[in-house]
Chain A
Amino acid sequence: MIAALVVAPILAGLALLLLPRSADVAAKWIGVAVSFAAFLVALSRYGAADESVRWLQRPFVANFHVGIGTGPSYWIVLLLTLTSGCALMVTRLPRMRDFVVQMLVLLGAMTGVFVARDLMLFALFWDLMLIPVFLTLIAWSPSKTAGTAWKYFVYNLVGGLALLLATAAFGILQGTTDVLGATAGAFATSGGWSFWIFAGFALAFLIKTPVWPLHTWMPDTYADLPAPMAAIVSAVQSKAGLYGFIVVGLALFPAAMHAAVPLMFALGLIGLIYGAVAALVQDDTKRVVAYSSLSHLGLIVLAIFSFNPIALGGAVVYIVAHGLFSAGLFMTLGEVEAREDTRMLGRLGGLGARNPRLAGGLTIVSLAALGLPGLCGFAGEILILTGLYQAGYVWQTIVALVPIVIAAAYMLRVFQGVMHGPEVDDLPEREDMSPLELLALAPLVIAIVLLGVNPGPVASSPHSYETALR
């Protein structure tokens, strides 16, 4: 069943190509159904046993080994399938059928990344998830040139190649790549080649997250992607790198991870401040979210490299939390854009008066994003920072508090800029959120509240990686 989570969406996506081009509505609802079915299956697989099929024997052992367990994989796959379904529900695009194909292939590939228990498989899906985003950027980007698409492609291809090389090198060195499901530390390496191999993985992870200064592909990509896919890429794909640091880095390269702490702390802290300050002055609402992601994900980098169990638990909470609220932000801001044909703060204003439901939806996701206590963002932040402080990083913790204040400023600037103030006369008047759009946002809002009230199960999910912390 876990393998089906990976394979079925991809097959379903390809099968959609058999439908006539005009079958937009059918394609959309098939996409929604597949995503939610995957969500329900994943939900029921808590703690399920791994599934493995023999694959390669030479030059090293590699298996089609997938598992979902009770760790970060489980929660991230739930996040992925849920946000995919919700985002697809409200998609309105030209050439809908083809777009759903891309979404489903992306869903399958990303699920593959997060359930792979074999490094080779992990690397394979890692590169596979590049393709649908690239094609979507080519075909649906509003800009005339394919500049953004190529930028995304080149950056991530470099990362992907580094990952593939590192995986191959690891396989040759250890004789097997079927190592992610093993007891943490069983295949831990140190010294010599392992640092080079880790550097390869780290480069891929840093680009994918992205971590400053490898982030410049991100604002362009998020701005040009259609809102539903931007939601998925920002919510889940950007977590692949952070997830990689946990399941690959902590489990296999603890020594190299320790050695990388000063560098990663520097990059994380710079990104934390840089992203927040840059988000403060963006006029494009999607770019605000993009730069805010740079800031938020920098915090997770700090958490992972603090080698503190509380911070690590907080990191997983924040991975899921950021996924929920950034998906919610892209969806609601996408709905604003679909209504008003612009997403520029300079043009928007006063929509709240006629769109109270949309305003309510944007309020809740913005509040989660700015870390309002009681919602999911806060739960992640406070656990991470508590752990950072406990690990002895006192001044780093204080620096990390600054972006929380800036986040309040830029999120309210977006929310109020769109919804509040006097109504702008020359904006088209459109209907408020439809029941369907409300229904699509509701699961995210419920999850945002639930995770904010009790992040306990998610926070304790990375227990199996904690051995590496000592």
Chain B
Amino acid sequence: MSEVRTLGALYLIWLLPLFGAIAIWTLGPQLRRGAGWLGSATVIASFVLTVLVTILNGAASPAARSAGTDVPLVTWIPGFTFGLQLDPLSLLWTLIITGVGGLIHVYSIGYMWSDRAIARFFAYLNFFVFAMLTLVLSDNVVGLLVGWGLVGLASYFLIGFWFYKPVAVAAARKAFVINVVGDTGIMFAVFAIFAATGSIGYAEIFAKAGTLSSGLIIAICMGLFIGAAAKSAQVPLHTWLPDAMEGPTPVSALIHAATMVTAGVYLIARFAPLFNVSPTAQEVVAIVGAITMVTGAILGVAQWDIKRILAYSTMSQIGYMIMGVGVGAYQAGVLHFFTHAFFKAQLFLGAGLIIHALHDEQDVRKMGGLYFRMKFAFWAMLLGTLAICGFPFFSGFYSKDAIVYGALEHGHPVLFFAGVFTAGITAYYMFRMLFVTFFGPYRGEVPDELLAIPPPAHTAEAEETHGAHAPAWLMNAPVAVLMIPTVVAGYVSWGGVSSPWYRFFGTLFGESDNVAGVPLPIPEWGSTLFVSLVVTVGIVVAYLRYGTPAAQADSIERLRREAVGMPPALRRAFWFDDAIAALIVRPAQALGTFFARTLDPHVIDAGVRDVAWLAGALGAIFRKLQTGLVRGYALTIVIGAACFIAYFALIGGAK
């Protein structure tokens, strides 16, 4: 067997989660926790089918594997043809979406055990998996855009899952609107692509990539990148991601860490043939990725909410990935997606264990000493933290290394140093979180004032009834399973370009144009050593500030001082939200008010009224004119009407 076969399994892989969502939605609340099992079963079935397809296709020739397979679905108009395709890139994402997704589904049964709306939760979660599969399995850019919009919708539903909380509602809307900004970027790319190639299919587009002008390719790539930046929380479109933590924690793990937010990485890797021929576009992507990477890490230092710490770390890590694919180191960027999916899911699910046990407490200042109460959660968080820091021989070590060295290889020394620097900060804030959460005294009973925690702006009654508790294994088992890849996932890249990882993709990404031929100042092991050193420094600084016995004993006072002394730039997250509100939201509202309250009733309407009135009493016009009572806008309208008539008269006369 030399060609890739899917035996119709592709339809099933794609649609099973949708069937699950529809079944849960229609059967509704009767299912209760059964919804969780049904949802998990469909996603896991998708995963099993994907694995089977992968194994069956192991026999296919490397070239056939790279090219993948394609099944048609529907044609709108000539050129707008939709279909599904499975090539290495979509296969990898499908494995993660259904695999990690399946684990998080099972975990969610435990996490949402006593929530009244558990069925609604699983309907949304299953719908998300379907939407994400649509995004990665599509063989064309409009189908990708459909998936792109639908994952945004699922994300909106799940951020605002507890819709009686005003903060959750606002966060959901913010996430949706910012993502629509991204959608319009991709739409623009679609228009430009279709006008130039007459098609929306990847294969046809890439076949004609050579015939496009470089200016057009830059425009297309920038449109795509606006989409990628919005979905993957790149500066300045990142502000929705920290707020998105209002959703239930398993959602943060699946959508806002492991899968959806990495869609931007997928998009750029998918369009590698276009980005490869446009060094300018690559430069922009890499620089924005690097800025995001540094910004996210710096802001991660200043957070108190355990989920917001993880959210900023996600933003920063996606910055790494975007920088990786931006410089042309596609395998490295995608490898970091692969390892990040495991260790970040691990971290979020571990944080979920804590939040669940502490009855929805998320402020690390109110934690402390949890090591003695929750050993399993501690080990889960420790492994995840070591992996995200890039500690040697954990999964993140390999992928982060590959990216920073890739930046150097492709001739970006500044980005290399930015990457190394960020690795140090990452180690610092992640270990800060670990020490404050798990060591020192338990501060759950300490009054808020002593920790400088501001009083809540509103009080939302807790929806969950904490009477019944799920069996512990439901939440622990998925975390335990994730521990394995969190440690070992990076080993797939052992052996550099001859590793299974590189062979898996084959020639999919082509050759990037801008591989610098210059000899590198340091070899790869030198870079690795340098990164490891900086990471160690970060860990040591975190230990000195939060981990020493003295610091632990004095933790309440120290944390209070740190909270009070937080610089405004960090507290306001570099004022991005304020800037968007002042520059875009408020002017748009003011303009709308002016249109609807002033222009419509007092100018256009009054003008039209006057025209009618004038027409009715022609004689009176002149009298009014003489007495000067005709309102200015009436005159405007008359002139306008005259222009309308004159326009046609002149055009008519010209012919």
Contact = CB atoms under 8 A, between A and B. Distances in A.
A420 B604 contact: no
A340 interface: no
Nearest to A281: B592
A452 B142 CA distance: 12
B164 to A, nearest CB: 5
A389 B197 CA distance: 13
Contacts of B645: 199
Contacts of A193: 652
B164 A423 contact: yes
Contacts of B190: 382, 386
Interface stretch (A24-32, A110-118, A271-279): A271-279
Given A198-B648, A408-B176, A313 B164 contact: no
A398 B605 contact: no
Contact of B176 (A379, A402, A412): A412
Contact of A372 (B77, B120, B149): B149
Interface in A395-430: 397-398, 401-402, 404-406, 408-409, 412-413, 416, 419-423
Of residues B148, B160, B460, which shows the largest number of chain A Cβ atoms within 10 Å of its Cβ?
A: B160
B545 interface: no
Interface string A433-469: 0000000000000000000011110011000000000
B652 A409 contact: no
Contact of B76 (A278, A281, A421, A459): A459
Given A154-B612, A350-B164, A453 B74 contact: yes
Nearest to B605: A216
A378 interface: yes
Contacts of B537: none
B181 interface: yes
A320 to B, nearest CB: 14
B376 interface: no
Given A192-B652, A263-B647, A389-B195, A353 B164 contact: yes
Contact of B596 (A291, A402, A423): A291
A274 B153 contact: no
A404 B180 contact: yes
B187 A385 contact: yes
B593 interface: yes
Interface string B569-605: 0000000000000000000110111011000110011
B277 interface: no
B428 to A, nearest CB: 37
Contacts, number: 162
B231 to A, nearest CB: 13
Q: What's the dominant secondary structure at chain A's contact region? A: helix
B240 to A, nearest CB: 12
A360 B604 CA distance: 38
B188 interface: yes
A190 interface: yes
A216 B608 contact: yes
**SS class, residues of chain B in contact with chain A:** helix
Contacts of A378: 146, 149
Interface in B213-239: none
A374 B146 CA distance: 6
Contacts of B600: 216, 219, 278
A463 B177 CA distance: 36
A141 interface: no
Contact of A404 (B146, B184, B608): B184
Given A192-B655, A385-B191, A398-B188, A281 B612 contact: no
Interface in B173-195: 173, 176-177, 180-181, 183-184, 187-188, 190-192, 194-195
Interface in B348-362: none
Given A255-B655, A382-B142, A405 B74 contact: no
Nearest to B164: A422
Interface residues of B, number: 57
B181 A190 contact: no
Contact of B150 (A278, A310, A374): A374
Contacts of A459: 76-77
A70 interface: no
A20 B74 CA distance: 52
Interface string B351-386: 000000000000000000000000000000000000
Contacts of B608: 155, 214, 216
A454 B655 contact: no
Contacts of B172: 416
Contacts of B148: 373
Interface in B105-143: 120, 142
A161 to B, nearest CB: 12
B146 A420 contact: no
Contact of B655 (A155, A190, A291, A401): A190
Interface in B90-105: none
A278 B592 contact: yes
A195 interface: yes
Interface of B: 74-77, 80, 120, 142, 145-150, 153, 160, 163-164, 166, 169, 172-173, 176-177, 180-181, 183-184, 187-188, 190-192, 194-195, 460, 588-589, 591-593, 595-596, 600-601, 604-605, 608, 612, 640, 644-645, 647-649, 651-652, 655
Given A196-B648, A356-B120, 15 more contacts: A191-B652, A195-B652, A216-B604, A260-B648, A281-B593, A287-B596, A353-B163, A373-B145, A373-B183, A389-B195, A405-B184, A420-B164, A422-B460, A454-B76, A456-B74
4 nearest A-B residue pairs (beta carbon): A195-B652, A373-B149, A389-B191, A281-B592
28 contacts: A195-B651, A216-B601, A216-B604, A255-B655, A260-B651, A278-B595, A278-B600, A281-B596, A373-B145, A373-B146, A373-B148, A382-B145, A383-B77, A385-B191, A386-B194, A389-B191, A390-B191, A402-B184, A404-B184, A406-B588, A408-B176, A409-B173, A412-B173, A416-B169, A416-B172, A420-B163, A454-B74, A459-B76
